[in-house]
Structure 1
Amino acid sequence: MEVSPLNINRGPLLVFSGQSNIPLAQEICQHLGIPLGRSETVKFTNDNIIVQYEESLREGDVFIVQSFSTPVSDAIMELMLLIDAAKSASAGRVTAVIPYYSYARSDKKDAPRISIAGRLVADLLQEAGADRILTMTLHSSQVHGFFKVPVDHLSSDRILGEHFQRVVPHAHEGVVLAPDAGSIKRAAAIAHRLNSGLAFIDKQRTSDTTVDPRALIGDVQGKNVFIVDDEISTAGSLVEAVNFAKRMGAKDVYVAVTHGVYTGPAVERIRALDAVQVASTNTVLVPESKIEGSGGKMHVLSVAQLFADAIRNIHTGESVSTLFE
């Protein structure tokens, strides 16, 4: 009997999805050549959630796709219920696939009497029964340490770099700009892929709530500038970075981030932004209405193939890190 390449080391590969990003889960399954697993989630009038699988999971290698996007608390609760239900249904292994782990921003105690929510959510997922975590572009790599189970941390650097090369002729003549010192490592990796220049904005805190740009380290005068970051939320920091780059003599500005959260006034700010385009990946589901509201500036890049490859390698016991070599 011929053995399927997706059924080598353990039970059958099964991929399910919570409600937060079903289109991404469906696209992942298309690349894997398997159907998306059948499950049902019901939210009662008292806000309680119930989940139920509609097929057998016994001894299966189960992957559950769920981004922590709005409403975040519902997404986390649904994922924990799906994990718990899978373990109760005798799944062989359960991997939580979290394309966007929003609580990664809460990674340290930087104020008195607060919770390190990134660690708390990690504890909850493990207590629910997650055997493994697959995620992308955590705000801080130290979030790895919050988990006692294996974590595979994917990077969107290749996808963002290839996007710049597609939309900008001679991208290697441009400059990748990190909007702050914390983004330098990511910007440097993409600059290396493009064989381009590198710059970053040095900021100083002027109050408890305000951080202003102080200097631009690097040369952007007359050059195309590629701003990269982990996510866009309200787009306030993005507006600041783009405006500062233009004041420093940048030619055209292109933006690409991993997580396009786009909350509050983000769409209106992007529409008025002095940038050619703003791209994000589909780790977060971006409604078509927001894309249209940006005046054609917002674009969505797919990471489904990368997640599919990672899931395949995890299932067959191959290295995930080889995907980035």
Structure 2
Amino acid sequence: MLSEVQSHESRQDTPMPAMTEPKLIAGNANRPLATAIARRMSMHRGMNVAPIEARVERFNDQEIFVEVYENVRGEDMFIIQPTSNPANDNLMELLIMTDALRRSSAARITAVIPYFGYARQDRRAKARTPISAKLVANLLTEAGVDRVLTLDLHAAQIQGFFDIPVDNLYAAPVFALDIKHHFRDRMSDLMVISPDVGGVARARELAQRIGAPLAIVDKRREKPGEVAEMTVIGDVTGKTCIIVDDICDTAGTLCKAAQVLTEHGATEVHAYITHGVLSGPAVERVQNSVMKSLVITDSIEPGAKVKSATNIRIVPTAPMFAQAILNIWNGTSVSSLFEVGTLGPIYEGLYSGF
């Protein structure tokens, strides 16, 4: 066991070659995002940055096969692969790509996981249940990942499941830019809503960034996926409500919260959700709900139904991830990206004036 620990530590302590460039490799989970990140990095570097040539395919029995066509010896590698639906396939792709790079003598391997799957299984809520997020952390570390870069982990304690550095970016600064741009004429009417008590910290952070008050929708679940009752804590009368959360799966809770807020006097309801899982009937529910708009990021590749929905809008994360990758490669601060003042220039053109 000691030798395994020493072996992993030696990988972390391997010095970076002085003239190496950051190298990207993409799985199949979200290739458009990987391409967009490479494009943004090209703009920053003043040179062409593209994901390296590789095969990430499946045999007839669905076993995953990876072959890297370029030399990666001594390189600083970044694997771009959210572990979204199908979570098991995409996670296995990430593990096998990591193994291929490790066996090809890459100097450092950073897993860029815009959406970290299994994050909702972060504790033992009942007897005889797993902590799957910890298992995934173990798998990534044992496969040879030296560092993780992710976005809005469902639970902050997941960072502690790893014995390697974990950089957790936040969507709140980008959402603040978007809100200040799209609601600039009615900022005084805004109220940020947490859809449950557990998400208050996330909602409070965004409320502070845009200078808006905070309210809570207290929900009582009978079982997963169903909500028995909801109570609004706070006065939302005459307010433009903005629901903030990290994950929208089937959208049942979200749409019901929007309905309850409207019944309590809210003039409009919008939602800002980091990860648009949007499984099953989610898109239809959002389209038929009282919500004026649902804003998500592209951490999960949006499907055709999501793209065609008139009240769903997608905010790009490529500028933020590209800068974070360059900061990691340069050995500079990643936490600087938590501030609007830093992200504003990165998103220049999308949100002019902020």
Fold shared by both chains (TM-score > 0.5): yes
Structure 2 CA distance for partners of 1:171 and 1:288, relative to 1, 3 Å:
farther
Give 1:105's aligned residue.
Answer: 120
Counterpart-to-counterpart distance in 1, 2:107 and 2:100: 12
1:11·1:61 contact (CA, 8 Å) conserved in 2?
A: yes
Secondary structure in 1 aligned to 2:110?
A: strand
2:273·2:297 contact (CA, 8 Å) conserved in 1?
A: yes
Give 1:300's aligned residue.
Answer: 314
Counterpart-to-counterpart distance in 1, 2:168 and 2:108: 18
The reply to whether residue 120 of structure 1 matches residue 135 of structure 2 is yes
1:173·1:197 contact (CA, 8 Å) conserved in 2?
A: no
The reply to whether residue 14 of structure 1 matches residue 23 of structure 2 is yes
Q: Specify which of 66, 70, 75 is matched with residue 60 of structure 1.
A: 75
Counterpart-to-counterpart distance in 2, 1:310 and 1:66: 15
Equivalenced residue count is 316
Counterpart-to-counterpart distance in 1, 2:195 and 2:167: 26
Give 1:23's aligned residue.
Answer: 32
Give 1:314's aligned residue.
Answer: 328
Give 1:197's aligned residue.
Answer: 213
Give 2:192's aligned residue.
Answer: 176
Unaligned runs of 5+ in 2: 1-15, 43-48, 340-354
Counterpart-to-counterpart distance in 2, 1:171 and 1:44: 54
Counterpart-to-counterpart distance in 2, 1:212 and 1:289: 28
Aligned alpha-carbon RMSD (Å): 1.5
Structure 1, residues 84-121: CA drift from partner, whole Å, max 9, x if none?
10011110100000000021100001122221110101
Counterpart-to-counterpart distance in 1, 2:103 and 2:120: 31
The reply to whether residue 46 of structure 1 matches residue 46 of structure 2 is no
Counterpart-to-counterpart distance in 2, 1:141 and 1:130: 20
Q: Specify which of 295, 300, 311 is matched with residue 279 of structure 1.
A: 295
Counterpart-to-counterpart distance in 2, 1:214 and 1:21: 35
The reply to whether residue 145 of structure 1 matches residue 160 of structure 2 is yes
- Give the C-alpha shift of residue 290 in structure 1: 2.7
2:17·2:75 contact (CA, 8 Å) conserved in 1?
A: no
Counterpart-to-counterpart distance in 1, 2:25 and 2:296: 24
Give 2:281's aligned residue.
Answer: 265
Give 1:92's aligned residue.
Answer: 107
Secondary structure in 1 aligned to 2:119?
A: helix
Q: Specify which of 223, 242, 254 is matched with residue 226 of structure 1.
A: 242
- Give the C-alpha shift of residue 288 in structure 1: 2.7
TM-score by length of 2: 0.86
TM-score by length of 1: 0.94
Percent identity reads: 37
Secondary structure in 1 aligned to 2:83?
A: coil
Structure 1, residues 271-309: CA drift from partner, whole Å, max 9, x if none?
1010111110000000233331x3x01111101111111
- Give the C-alpha shift of residue 74 in structure 1: 0.7
